[in-house]
Amino acid sequence: MPVKIRKQIYLEPIQETMLKRIAGVTGVTEAEIIRQAIDRHLQSVQMPRRDRRIWAVEQAYLAQLVALGPVEGARSWRREDLYER
């Protein structure tokens, strides 16, 4: 049996009634009906595609900042000082 992960969910009363009814009629466990419903839903959902051009623009911007070199001036605090507050 494949490893399964336990989840706790909240159902509306009508969902509980229908789930029990379907399980009783089909002889399939409530958990299996929920898993099948999730699988069917995931087949119909389209995940947003990442636009790699946006990442390329961001990388170019970061490269420009790095090329500018260090910022003039110095900070007046030390990182360790932040933890002592």
Residue 51, in any domain of the structure: no
Residue 39, in any domain of the structure: yes
Q: Residue 32: what pLDDT?
A: 96
Q: Residue 6: what pLDDT?
A: 94
Q: Note whether 23 and 15 are within 8 A (CB).
A: no
- Domain extent for 22: 13-44
* Cα–Cα distance, 13 to 6 (Å, whole number): 21
In total, how many domains does the chain have? Answer: 1
pLDDT digits (tens, 9 = 90+) for 45-76: 888 888 889 999 999 999 999 999 888 888 88
Q: Residue 85: what pLDDT?
A: 59
Mean pLDDT of the chain: 91
Residue 6, in any domain of the structure: no
Distance, CA of 63 to chain centre: 29
pLDDT surpassing 90 at residue 26: yes
> What is the pTM (predicted TM-score) of this model?
0.54
* Cα–Cα distance, 21 to 34 (Å, whole number): 13
